[in-house]
Structure 1
Protein backbone atom coordinates (compact mmCIF):
# COMPACT_ATOMS: atom_id res chain seq x y z
CA UNK A 1 0.00 0.00 0.00
CA UNK A 2 1.59 3.27 -1.14
CA UNK A 3 2.26 5.75 1.66
CA UNK A 4 1.33 3.43 4.50
CA UNK A 5 4.84 3.28 6.04
CA UNK A 6 5.13 7.04 5.58
CA UNK A 7 1.86 7.50 7.47
CA UNK A 8 3.05 5.21 10.29
CA UNK A 9 6.27 7.16 10.93
CA UNK A 10 4.78 10.65 10.61
CA UNK A 11 4.70 12.62 13.87
CA UNK A 12 1.50 14.27 15.08
CA UNK A 13 1.51 18.09 15.30
CA UNK A 14 1.95 17.76 19.09
CA UNK A 15 4.90 15.39 18.64
CA UNK A 16 6.47 17.82 16.15
CA UNK A 17 6.07 20.71 18.63
CA UNK A 18 7.55 18.65 21.49
CA UNK A 19 10.43 17.43 19.31
CA UNK A 20 11.35 20.94 18.15
CA UNK A 21 11.11 22.24 21.75
CA UNK A 22 13.45 19.49 22.98
CA UNK A 23 16.20 20.22 20.44
CA UNK A 24 18.48 23.20 19.81
CA UNK A 25 20.50 22.62 16.61
CA UNK A 26 18.99 23.14 13.16
CA UNK A 27 20.40 22.84 9.66
CA UNK A 28 19.28 25.91 7.72
CA UNK A 29 19.26 26.14 3.94
CA UNK A 30 18.80 29.37 2.01
CA UNK A 31 19.11 30.04 -1.73
CA UNK A 32 22.43 31.47 -2.90
CA UNK A 33 22.75 34.08 -5.67
CA UNK A 34 23.34 31.41 -8.31
CA UNK A 35 20.49 29.21 -7.05
CA UNK A 36 22.68 26.80 -5.07
CA UNK A 37 21.72 25.90 -1.51
CA UNK A 38 23.64 27.65 1.25
CA UNK A 39 23.62 25.28 4.22
CA UNK A 40 24.65 26.01 7.83
CA UNK A 41 23.96 24.66 11.31
CA UNK A 42 22.60 27.09 13.88
CA UNK A 43 21.57 26.98 17.54
CA UNK A 44 17.89 27.86 17.85
CA UNK A 45 15.00 28.19 20.24
CA UNK A 46 11.27 28.42 19.64
CA UNK A 47 9.78 31.90 19.45
CA UNK A 48 5.98 31.88 19.39
CA UNK A 49 6.22 28.18 18.47
CA UNK A 50 8.54 28.76 15.50
CA UNK A 51 12.24 28.03 14.97
CA UNK A 52 14.17 31.24 15.64
CA UNK A 53 17.84 32.16 15.83
CA UNK A 54 20.07 35.21 15.63
CA UNK A 55 22.83 35.71 13.10
CA UNK A 56 25.10 38.50 11.93
CA UNK A 57 23.12 40.93 9.79
CA UNK A 58 25.90 40.78 7.16
CA UNK A 59 25.94 36.94 7.03
CA UNK A 60 25.42 35.10 3.76
CA UNK A 61 22.13 33.60 4.95
CA UNK A 62 20.73 37.09 5.65
CA UNK A 63 21.92 38.36 2.27
CA UNK A 64 20.22 35.34 0.68
CA UNK A 65 16.96 35.78 2.64
CA UNK A 66 16.74 39.48 1.77
CA UNK A 67 16.99 38.52 -1.91
CA UNK A 68 14.79 35.38 -1.68
CA UNK A 69 13.05 34.46 1.59
CA UNK A 70 12.90 30.74 0.71
CA UNK A 71 14.30 28.73 3.60
CA UNK A 72 14.32 25.10 4.69
CA UNK A 73 15.11 23.90 8.21
CA UNK A 74 16.01 20.38 9.32
CA UNK A 75 16.15 19.14 12.91
CA UNK A 76 17.09 15.46 13.15
CA UNK A 77 18.62 12.87 15.41
CA UNK A 78 19.22 9.16 15.86
CA UNK A 79 22.04 6.79 14.96
CA UNK A 80 20.44 3.42 14.28
CA UNK A 81 17.72 3.24 11.60
CA UNK A 82 14.94 2.59 14.13
CA UNK A 83 16.07 5.68 16.12
CA UNK A 84 15.92 8.14 13.19
CA UNK A 85 13.64 11.08 13.87
CA UNK A 86 13.37 14.44 12.25
CA UNK A 87 11.34 17.42 11.16
CA UNK A 88 11.88 19.31 7.91
CA UNK A 89 10.20 22.70 7.57
CA UNK A 90 9.78 24.38 4.19
CA UNK A 91 8.81 28.02 3.92
CA UNK A 92 10.20 31.50 4.45
CA UNK A 93 12.84 32.94 6.71
CA UNK A 94 11.75 36.29 8.11
CA UNK A 95 14.57 38.75 8.85
CA UNK A 96 13.50 40.75 11.93
CA UNK A 97 15.42 43.83 13.05
CA UNK A 98 13.27 44.55 16.15
CA UNK A 99 15.60 44.44 19.19
CA UNK A 100 12.94 43.15 21.64
CA UNK A 101 12.28 39.71 20.09
CA UNK A 102 15.94 39.49 19.01
CA UNK A 103 16.93 39.96 22.65
CA UNK A 104 14.44 37.34 23.92
CA UNK A 105 15.74 34.74 21.46
CA UNK A 106 19.35 35.85 21.94
CA UNK A 107 19.20 35.41 25.73
CA UNK A 108 18.03 31.79 25.38
CA UNK A 109 20.43 30.85 22.56
CA UNK A 110 23.34 32.86 23.99
CA UNK A 111 22.96 31.22 27.41
CA UNK A 112 22.92 27.78 25.80
CA UNK A 113 26.00 28.56 23.68
CA UNK A 114 27.86 29.81 26.77
CA UNK A 115 27.05 26.57 28.62
CA UNK A 116 24.90 28.43 31.16
CA UNK A 117 21.48 27.47 32.50
CA UNK A 118 18.99 28.17 29.74
CA UNK A 119 16.24 30.60 30.76
CA UNK A 120 12.64 30.34 29.62
CA UNK A 121 11.78 32.86 26.88
CA UNK A 122 11.53 36.31 28.50
CA UNK A 123 12.90 35.20 31.90
CA UNK A 124 15.51 37.50 33.43
CA UNK A 125 19.15 36.57 32.93
CA UNK A 126 22.05 37.47 35.23
CA UNK A 127 22.71 41.18 34.44
CA UNK A 128 26.42 40.66 33.68
CA UNK A 129 25.65 37.81 31.28
CA UNK A 130 22.74 39.73 29.77
CA UNK A 131 25.01 42.71 29.08
CA UNK A 132 27.51 40.49 27.26
CA UNK A 133 24.79 38.84 25.20
CA UNK A 134 23.23 42.23 24.32
CA UNK A 135 26.63 43.49 23.12
CA UNK A 136 26.95 40.41 20.88
CA UNK A 137 23.38 40.90 19.59
CA UNK A 138 24.03 44.50 18.48
CA UNK A 139 25.38 43.29 15.12
CA UNK A 140 22.77 40.56 14.72
CA UNK A 141 19.24 40.13 13.40
CA UNK A 142 16.55 37.63 14.32
CA UNK A 143 15.51 34.98 11.79
CA UNK A 144 12.14 33.29 12.30
CA UNK A 145 11.08 30.29 10.21
CA UNK A 146 7.56 30.68 8.79
CA UNK A 147 6.76 27.16 7.59
CA UNK A 148 4.34 26.48 4.74
CA UNK A 149 4.89 22.73 4.91
CA UNK A 150 6.21 20.38 7.60
CA UNK A 151 7.45 16.83 7.01
CA UNK A 152 8.29 14.57 9.97
CA UNK A 153 9.44 11.05 10.69
CA UNK A 154 10.00 8.86 13.72
CA UNK A 155 11.23 5.40 12.79
CA UNK A 156 10.75 4.29 16.40
CA UNK A 157 7.02 4.14 15.67
CA UNK A 158 7.37 1.02 13.48
Structure 2
Protein backbone atom coordinates (compact mmCIF):
# COMPACT_ATOMS: atom_id res chain seq x y z
CA UNK A 1 0.00 0.00 0.00
CA UNK A 2 1.38 3.41 -0.99
CA UNK A 3 1.50 6.20 1.56
CA UNK A 4 -0.49 9.30 0.68
CA UNK A 5 1.89 12.19 0.00
CA UNK A 6 1.71 15.02 2.50
CA UNK A 7 -0.03 18.15 1.20
CA UNK A 8 1.13 21.51 2.46
CA UNK A 9 0.39 25.14 1.72
CA UNK A 10 1.41 28.49 3.19
CA UNK A 11 -0.47 31.34 4.83
CA UNK A 12 0.63 34.56 3.13
CA UNK A 13 -1.84 36.79 4.98
CA UNK A 14 0.98 38.45 6.93
CA UNK A 15 2.73 39.33 3.64
CA UNK A 16 0.11 41.42 1.78
CA UNK A 17 2.76 43.29 -0.24
CA UNK A 18 5.01 40.33 -1.05
CA UNK A 19 7.10 40.64 -4.22
CA UNK A 20 8.68 37.59 -5.86
CA UNK A 21 11.58 38.32 -8.19
CA UNK A 22 13.21 35.93 -10.61
CA UNK A 23 16.59 37.04 -11.93
CA UNK A 24 18.61 35.42 -14.67
CA UNK A 25 22.10 35.79 -16.05
CA UNK A 26 23.07 34.26 -19.37
CA UNK A 27 26.59 33.98 -20.73
CA UNK A 28 26.57 34.95 -24.41
CA UNK A 29 30.36 35.12 -25.04
CA UNK A 30 33.42 33.72 -23.24
CA UNK A 31 33.97 37.10 -21.67
CA UNK A 32 30.61 36.67 -19.95
CA UNK A 33 32.03 33.94 -17.69
CA UNK A 34 34.16 36.54 -15.90
CA UNK A 35 31.13 38.81 -15.57
CA UNK A 36 29.12 35.90 -14.15
CA UNK A 37 31.75 35.16 -11.51
CA UNK A 38 31.83 38.82 -10.47
CA UNK A 39 28.07 39.11 -10.31
CA UNK A 40 27.83 35.83 -8.40
CA UNK A 41 30.25 37.05 -5.74
CA UNK A 42 28.40 40.35 -5.47
CA UNK A 43 25.01 38.73 -5.10
CA UNK A 44 26.31 36.24 -2.53
CA UNK A 45 27.74 39.12 -0.50
CA UNK A 46 24.47 41.04 -0.75
CA UNK A 47 22.45 38.05 0.45
CA UNK A 48 24.87 37.45 3.35
CA UNK A 49 24.38 41.06 4.44
CA UNK A 50 20.66 40.29 4.87
CA UNK A 51 19.18 43.48 3.37
CA UNK A 52 16.05 44.74 5.06
CA UNK A 53 13.01 43.19 3.42
CA UNK A 54 14.70 40.17 1.80
CA UNK A 55 12.77 37.20 3.17
CA UNK A 56 14.41 34.38 1.21
CA UNK A 57 16.85 33.75 -1.64
CA UNK A 58 17.30 30.62 -3.76
CA UNK A 59 19.81 29.93 -6.54
CA UNK A 60 18.51 28.39 -9.77
CA UNK A 61 20.10 26.80 -12.81
CA UNK A 62 18.39 27.04 -16.18
CA UNK A 63 21.29 25.45 -18.08
CA UNK A 64 25.08 25.48 -18.31
CA UNK A 65 25.22 29.09 -19.50
CA UNK A 66 22.02 30.39 -17.88
CA UNK A 67 21.78 30.75 -14.10
CA UNK A 68 19.50 32.70 -11.84
CA UNK A 69 17.83 33.15 -8.52
CA UNK A 70 14.46 33.64 -6.93
CA UNK A 71 14.02 36.18 -4.18
CA UNK A 72 11.09 36.93 -1.92
CA UNK A 73 10.82 40.54 -0.71
CA UNK A 74 8.50 41.84 2.01
CA UNK A 75 7.38 44.71 -0.25
CA UNK A 76 8.35 46.77 -3.26
CA UNK A 77 9.70 49.62 -1.10
CA UNK A 78 12.36 47.41 0.51
CA UNK A 79 13.28 45.90 -2.86
CA UNK A 80 13.67 49.37 -4.38
CA UNK A 81 15.80 50.57 -1.44
CA UNK A 82 18.10 47.62 -2.01
CA UNK A 83 18.39 48.22 -5.76
CA UNK A 84 19.30 51.87 -5.15
CA UNK A 85 21.98 51.02 -2.57
CA UNK A 86 25.53 49.78 -3.02
CA UNK A 87 26.74 47.48 -4.46
CA UNK A 88 23.61 46.91 -6.57
CA UNK A 89 23.41 50.48 -7.87
CA UNK A 90 26.99 50.47 -9.18
CA UNK A 91 26.72 46.97 -10.64
CA UNK A 92 23.53 47.84 -12.53
CA UNK A 93 24.95 51.14 -13.85
CA UNK A 94 28.11 49.41 -15.07
CA UNK A 95 26.22 46.48 -16.56
CA UNK A 96 23.84 48.84 -18.38
CA UNK A 97 26.85 50.45 -20.08
CA UNK A 98 28.64 47.19 -20.96
CA UNK A 99 27.04 43.75 -20.57
CA UNK A 100 30.52 42.15 -20.95
CA UNK A 101 29.38 39.16 -22.99
CA UNK A 102 26.27 38.41 -20.99
CA UNK A 103 22.56 39.02 -20.78
CA UNK A 104 20.47 39.75 -17.71
CA UNK A 105 16.77 39.67 -16.98
CA UNK A 106 14.36 39.94 -14.10
CA UNK A 107 10.68 39.32 -13.66
CA UNK A 108 8.76 40.60 -10.64
CA UNK A 109 5.41 39.35 -9.43
CA UNK A 110 3.18 40.93 -6.80
CA UNK A 111 -0.51 41.11 -6.05
CA UNK A 112 -0.40 44.47 -7.84
CA UNK A 113 0.86 43.04 -11.12
CA UNK A 114 3.82 41.58 -12.99
CA UNK A 115 6.70 43.17 -14.85
CA UNK A 116 9.91 42.23 -16.60
CA UNK A 117 13.05 43.62 -18.17
CA UNK A 118 15.58 41.89 -20.42
CA UNK A 119 19.01 43.37 -21.18
CA UNK A 120 21.35 41.82 -23.73
CA UNK A 121 19.46 38.53 -23.89
CA UNK A 122 20.12 36.62 -27.13
CA UNK A 123 16.56 35.25 -27.31
CA UNK A 124 13.25 35.74 -25.52
CA UNK A 125 12.79 34.04 -22.16
CA UNK A 126 10.11 33.94 -19.48
CA UNK A 127 7.26 36.40 -20.07
CA UNK A 128 9.06 37.49 -23.23
CA UNK A 129 8.20 34.15 -24.84
CA UNK A 130 4.58 35.19 -25.32
CA UNK A 131 3.97 38.83 -24.32
CA UNK A 132 4.51 41.63 -26.85
CA UNK A 133 7.73 43.57 -26.47
CA UNK A 134 7.68 47.16 -25.21
CA UNK A 135 10.64 49.52 -24.74
CA UNK A 136 11.42 50.33 -21.09
CA UNK A 137 11.33 54.10 -21.41
CA UNK A 138 9.23 57.04 -20.27
CA UNK A 139 6.41 55.89 -17.98
CA UNK A 140 7.56 52.29 -18.46
CA UNK A 141 11.16 52.78 -17.29
CA UNK A 142 11.11 51.57 -13.67
CA UNK A 143 9.94 48.32 -12.17
CA UNK A 144 7.33 50.21 -10.11
CA UNK A 145 5.95 51.87 -13.26
CA UNK A 146 5.79 48.57 -15.14
CA UNK A 147 4.02 46.87 -12.20
CA UNK A 148 1.34 49.57 -12.32
CA UNK A 149 0.87 49.42 -16.11
Is the shorter-chain TM-score for this pair beyond 0.5, marking a shared fold? no
TM-score (normalised: structure 1): 0.26
TM-score (normalised: structure 2): 0.27
More strand by share: 1
